[in-house]
Structure 1
Amino acid sequence: MQFQDVVHQRRMVRRYTPEPVDPAVLTRLLENATRAPSAGFSQGWAFLVLDTADDLARFWDATTPPERAGRPDAWLRGMRTAPVVIVPLACEDAYRRRYAEPDKGRRPGQQGELPWSVPYWHVDAGMAALLILLGAVDAGLGACFFGVPAARVGELRARFGIPDDHEPVGAVTVGHPDPGPSPAGSPARRGRRPLEEVVHRGRW
C-alpha cells in the first residue's frame, strides 16, 4: 500500500471480527514501533502485548471503571472484541541515564534536569504507537489508540507486573475491522480542521 493511502485510510477502529491476528504480522507491527525516533536514541519504550482470552479479560477488568463494568456502552462492547491489545510504556529513567552520558555534555554519573520543556519519553512512546496504527492499516487491519483511566493504572500495573519505572501512555487495540456498524468516533461528529486553520507560515 502507498504511504498516502495508509495515512488517508487510517482511522480509529472500535469493533473487530473474531479472526485472530497473524503472529508474524503482530511481530512486524512491534518491529515497526521500535523504528520510531527517540531523543538521544534512548529508546525508552516497552510494549505489553495481550493476545490470549485470559489476558484480554484481565486487561478489560483492570482498566474498566466499576460503574461501567456492569453496563458497558457501545464503545466498550466494541473495543472488547479486539483480539490484541498492545500497551505502550514509557521509561523516564532511560532518558535520564542516556542524557547523563558523556556524549550528551554531562560528566560521567552527573545528574540534573533534562534539557527539554516537554517529557520526550511520552512523545517518543506516542510516535511508536502511531507506527503501530499505520502498520495495522498497511497490513489490512484496524487499530485504535485510547487512554487508560488514571484511576485504573495502578490496577493495570498490579495485574500484569508492570515495573514502577515504566508508565503506560495508553493502549492500542488491533484486529480485523468488523464491516458492520461501529460506534461513531469524534471525527464523524466534529470533522477535520482545514489546513489553513492549523498551518501558520512565518508567524502566527
Structure 2
Amino acid sequence: MEFDEVVRRRRMVRGYDPDRPVPPELIDKIVRHGLRAPSAGFSQGWSFLVLTELADRDLFWSSTAYGAGDPGGWLDRMRTAPLIVVALSNKSVYLDRYAETDKGWTDKAEAHWPVPYWDIDTGFAALLMHLTAVNEELGSCFFGVPADRVEEFKTAFGVPDEFNPVGALTIGYRGDDKRSPSLKRGHRPVDDVVHHGRWASAAEA
C-alpha cells in the first residue's frame, strides 16, 4: 500500500473479527516498526506489553474497565480484538540520558524539559505500529488507560513502578464496526490550524 493511501485510510477501528488472530509474523513486524520511532537523545525510554492470549486480554479489560458503563457499545466491540499492545514510557531513562556528558545538563531535573518527551516519543512509536497495522489491512485503535485504573493495571501485569502506560492499541482484522459519532464534527479547515510565518487570527485573514 502506498504511504498516501495508508494515511487516507487511517482511522480508529473499534470492531474486530474475534475468529481471525493476527499472525505472529505480522505482530513482530508491527512491533519492530514501532521501535523505529525517533526518541530524544536516542533514549528509547519505552516498553511495549504485547497481549495475545485470551486470559491476558481479559485481564487487561478487567483491570482497566471504565466505571461509567459502555455508551454506544464501543467497549464490547473493542474487546473482540485478538491483539492488544500497551505502550509504556519511562521518564527516568530520559533524565539519566540527558545527564550524560554529551548532553550538557549536570543534573536530572525534570524542569529542563518543556514537555514530557518520554510520553511523546512513546506515542510516536504507537503511531508507527498503528500505521503498520493499516498498511497490513488490519484495523487498529489507540486509547488511554483510565487514570484511576493505572495502578490496578500495573499491578495486574507486574509493570515496574518507573513505567507508565501512555495508551493501548487494539489490533485485528475488521469486524462489526461503527463509525464514531465524533467524526460528524469533520476536519477543521486547514487555514484554522496551519499558520505560515506568524499566527494569523480569523479576523486578520
Q: Normalising by structure 2, what TM-score?
A: 0.92
Write the distance in 1 (CA, Å) between the matches of 2:17 and 2:198.
47
- The answer to whether the 8 A contact 1:82-1:173 is kept is yes
Do residues 2 (structure 1) and 2 (structure 2) align? Answer: yes
Write the distance in 2 (CA, Å) between the matches of 1:111 and 1:188.
42
- Per the alignment, residue 76 of structure 1 pairs with 75
| Superposition pairs of residues 105-116 of structure 1, within 5 angstroms | 105-107=104-106, 110-113=107-110, 115-116=112-113
Write the distance in 2 (CA, Å) between the matches of 1:137 and 1:100.
38
- Per the alignment, residue 91 of structure 2 pairs with 92
Structure 1 residues without counterparts, runs of 5 or longer: none
RMSD of Structure 2 on Structure 1 (CA): 1.5
Alignment length (residue pairs): 198
- Per the alignment, residue 187 of structure 2 pairs with 192
Shift of 1:111: 3.3
- The answer to whether the 8 A contact 1:17-1:177 is kept is yes
- Per the alignment, residue 12 of structure 1 pairs with 12
Shift of 1:197: 1.5
- Per the alignment, residue 57 of structure 2 pairs with 56
Q: Deviations over 1:59-101 (max 9, x none)?
A: 0000003453xx6751011000000110000000000110011
- Per the alignment, residue 146 of structure 2 pairs with 149
| Superposition pairs of residues 28-43 of structure 1, within 5 angstroms | 28-43=29-44
- Per the alignment, residue 65 of structure 1 pairs with 66
- Per the alignment, residue 203 of structure 2 pairs with none
DSSP-derived class of the 1:143 partner:
strand
Q: Deviations over 1:91-125 (max 9, x none)?
A: 00000110011000145xx4334532101001001
DSSP-derived class of the 2:62 partner:
helix
Aligned partner letter, 1:199: V
Write the distance in 1 (CA, Å) between the matches of 2:67 and 2:110.
39
Change in 2 beyond 3 A, CA 1:75/1:106 = same
Structure 2 residues without counterparts, runs of 5 or longer: 200-205
**Matched-pair identity in %:** 49
Poorly superposed stretches of 4+, deviation over 6 Å: none
Match of 2:115 among 115, 118, 127: 118
DSSP-derived class of the 1:131 partner:
helix
DSSP-derived class of the 1:11 partner:
coil
- The answer to whether the 8 A contact 1:99-1:114 is kept is no
Aligned partner letter, 2:89: A
Write the distance in 1 (CA, Å) between the matches of 2:92 and 2:56.
27
